[in-house]
Amino acid sequence: MSKLKLNGVSKAYGATLALRRGDLEVMSGEVHVLMGSNGSGKSTLCKIIAGAVRPDAGKILIDDTPVTITGPRSARAQGIGIFYQELSLAAHRTVEENISLAALPVKSGVFVDRTALKERAARYILLFENVAGEGFSADALVGNLRPDQRQLVEIMKALASEAPLLIFDEPTSALDRAQVDRFFEILRDLKSRGRGIIFISHRMDEIKAIGDRVTIIRDGETIATLNLAETDAATVIRLMVGGAGDMPASQSSAPAAVDGKDGAALTVRGLSGRGFRNVSFEVARGEILGFGGLHGQGQSALLRAIFGAGSITAGEVLIGESRFDASSPRDAIRRGCAYVSGDRGRDGVISGRPIIENVTPIHYLRHRLMIARPRKLRDKVTPALESMHTKFASLFHPISSLSGGNQQKVIIARWLIDRPDVLLLDDPTKGIDLSAKADLFTLIRQLAAQGLGIVLYSSEDAELLGNANRILVFNGGSVTRELTGADRTRYNLYQAAYEAA
Amino acid sequence: MAETATIPRPRREGRIRKLLERYPFLPALVIVAALLALNGFFSPASLSYRALTGLLSTYMALILLSIAQTYVVYAGDIDLSAGAILSLVNVAIIVLMERWGGGAGAVLLALAIGLLLGLACGLVNGLVVAALRLQAIVATFATSIFFTGLALYILPVAGTPAPAIFWRTYGGRLFGVPFVFYVLAALIVLITVMSRTRLVTQLLAVGDDQQAAYQSGLPVIPVRIKGYVLCGLFSALAAFCITGDTASGDPLVGGKMTLYSVAAVVLGGSALSGGWGTVVGSLLGALTIGLINSVVFFMGTPSEWQNFVQGLAILVVLMAGVLAGRRARP
């Protein structure tokens, strides 16, 4: 029996299509796996079903009846429970309060029924008895728990909805083996009781172990649904990659090797810190080194740590010949290291201020300027902006008047007035349009040609393959594979990323 | 050697942290005790039964206003109109009591209307901030001007006296015990009951992470509106106390108290960003402010320096509280 059916569901954020066309059918008593690369639309699809995102078009049917889901509350009322990838927990509330947060048991109409709350929590905590780890209890504050324990709370919270349809968006990313095994036992039990389950994971072995069928999403479109018993990992990856998966990256735009005679721009030896461990690599002057792998495998944490914005517990960093251990971003900037984040809102844009103020802060910092002289600055700012074909009405318009792509160009331009030696790019093209991307990468290649050492982390594999001279694939906080020369293919990149850690 | 020396330390810090986690208002309690001691040092008479009763009846309004503020701060919001609601209710009940003759029945009826007025003001704030999604700071600043306008319309100049029966009760004794102590006892019962309600847990969850609360299926907008309504109700209660204490109506009496209430919330260990705090802490925070003012007075500070010393003392206490409270937050 069909539990849930999606027909042609789509969602766009401004100009970006997050989900082009989602078709999906989940049966009662099945674990239905969703697979797709970073940003292919899996999470958007799940959030649409759970009511956290309103779709632009398409039909949703539950038990063969068309329904409208107006929000998370309405989704719950219609029997949908969800595990959010980014978790939906209140850090200062206890485990038991979080488990029942959406439907706190009440007595006398207004008071929290603590007894019922404890009983209900105990039921779900018992499911993970002996694997939850030290310090896990019903009255512990969620904020004091380890990441894997928090993930368990989110699982319990989803289970406590007792919904006929359960969605698990990457529920196992922080769990250890024993916890995953226990979780799978629970899933099998739910399956046998006729629940429909949607499951997302990037670990091939887990998908094989628990899944019945798999639906593959590529570029916001559901491509195919297969029976997992009748298929193998290679087929699945090939479908995710698309037809041209075995074609090597375009060699013309990214030569396989860089003449290293000018020496290393950036050397990292045995670097460990929060989110990454024992990473070593070298970037030659004029080289673009790519960081690949799934989201959140330590790439951003490493780049931020090098830039002095994260923690380093061991290892060393060298720029050129001299030791470079930036204690703060200010220190890193003064010594010629640049960092551009894809999260413009948080790390880049000075919102509400004019473009000129957004282009010049680095210049001010490096030259210790005290007084703003717009006329003089204009001569320095204009070439930097023009080198990327930035479109703007005047330097004194607010930065918010620009599109996302042009904002990012302004952010990059601020590093071009005084050339840095090393440029760290942390998923710089997140949410910007295609022509801006093209301008950006043209510039990045030019900068490399001028002798900068560039590290490029991108969540889009095409960008890595098109621009990086070498690619390091991250998995679980360390480098698991280095792709060079003709090995730099989409297929290899996917395979390395999806290998069980 | 170094290793053995460092092992017991995290355990002890863990215990302090656990204690602070369970009773986040402990630093505020210590500060109140210290200030009481200081008061006693400069003027032993200031710790007398009579002096403490006076302190309590003067600062009961601020205590209630700080509690009112706490409920909106729980949800990560703020109410800059709490003091204006207090003024509005103050002048409204004064005028009503006078019109209706000042008997016991008239007083009780006026108080009921005052509560309804507080509720209505809170509802307006809630609708403006949560339903219309305006910035809480600016929106409640605007409603505060609006409420002050209404108060000035009802009573253009300060001065109309409260009926004797009202302020004599508030300032008097019942069975030999000063009336404010009954108020305090009732208040403690009330906030204990409140702390067990589902609404308070929901307010804290919304303040913790609004997006997460929404995605979990909490009715975020109604919860925030109810927080403002609660704030309006407690502001009305605060107005009753100020009316009892000053025995007159003043359309501008609460204006200065709003930011004191915010300060009391922070002094009590609550996070202005929401999701973390206690009402008891705010009560102690309001007492802290009262005691600072009293210490400054008893120290014999020249009058032109009193504000200066008060401000400095609040800063110092705030710093001490923040340093202690920071450890408790997960």
Q: Where are the domains of chain B?
A: 55-254
- Nearest chain A residue (CA) to B209: A90
CB-nearest to A112 from B196, B215, B216 is: B196
Which two tokens mark A58? 């398409």
Query: CA-CA distances (angstroms) from residue B79 to B73, B75, B124, B201, B264?
Result: 8, 11, 12, 19, 13
- Nearest chain B residue (CA) to A72: B217
A50 vs B214: CB contact, 8 Å cut-off?
no
Chain A positions in Cβ-Cβ contact with residue B326 (cut-off 8 Å): none
Chain B CB within 8 Å of residue A75 CB? yes
CA dist A22 and A6 (Å) reads 7
DSSP state letters, B48-65: SHHHHHHHHHHHHHHHHH
pLDDT, residue A82, reads 93
Strand ranges of the sheet holding A276-284, from the earlier edge strand across to the other edge:
A276-284, A264-273, A314-319, A322-323
pTM equals 0.76
CA dist B29 and B41 (Å) reads 18
A274 φ/ψ sector (left φ>0, alpha ψ -120 to 50, else beta): beta
Chain A positions in Cβ-Cβ contact with residue B197 (cut-off 8 Å): 110-112
- Nearest chain A residue (CA) to B270: A92
pLDDT, residue A261, reads 63
| Distance to chain A for B15, nearest Cα, Å | 14
Chain B positions in Cβ-Cβ contact with residue A111 (cut-off 8 Å): 196-198
Which two tokens mark A28? 């009662």
Chain B positions in Cβ-Cβ contact with residue A114 (cut-off 8 Å): 196
pLDDT, residue A192, reads 93
Chain A positions in Cβ-Cβ contact with residue B275 (cut-off 8 Å): 90-92
Which one of B201, B229, B272 would you mutate to disrupt binding with A, by most A Cβ within 10 Å of its Cβ? B201
Residue B6: pLDDT band with limits 50, 70, 90: very low
Q: Domains along chain A? A: 2-241 (3.40.50.300), 260-498 (3.40.50.300)
CB-nearest to A72 from B202, B204, B216 is: B216
CA dist B310 and B296 (Å) reads 7
Residue A498: pLDDT band with limits 50, 70, 90: confident
Q: What is the mean pLDDT of chain A?
A: 84
Per residue in B221-275, pLDDT tens?
999 999 999 999 999 999 999 999 998 999 999 988 999 999 999 988 888 888 8
Length of chain B: 330
pLDDT, residue B276, reads 87
Looking at chain B, the whole-number percentage of residues with pLDDT higher than 70 is: 93
In the predicted model, is pLDDT for residue A372 greater than 90?
A: no
pLDDT, residue A248, reads 46
- Nearest chain B residue (CA) to A76: B217
Per residue in B72-107, pLDDT tens?
999 999 999 999 999 999 999 999 998 888 788 899
CB-nearest to B330 from A52, A104, A141 is: A141
Nearest to B262 by CA among B100, B83, B26, B95: B83
- A422-426 and A453-457 strand pairing: parallel
CA dist A174 and A121 (Å) reads 22
| Distance to chain A for B219, nearest Cα, Å | 8
- Nearest chain A residue (CA) to B22: A141
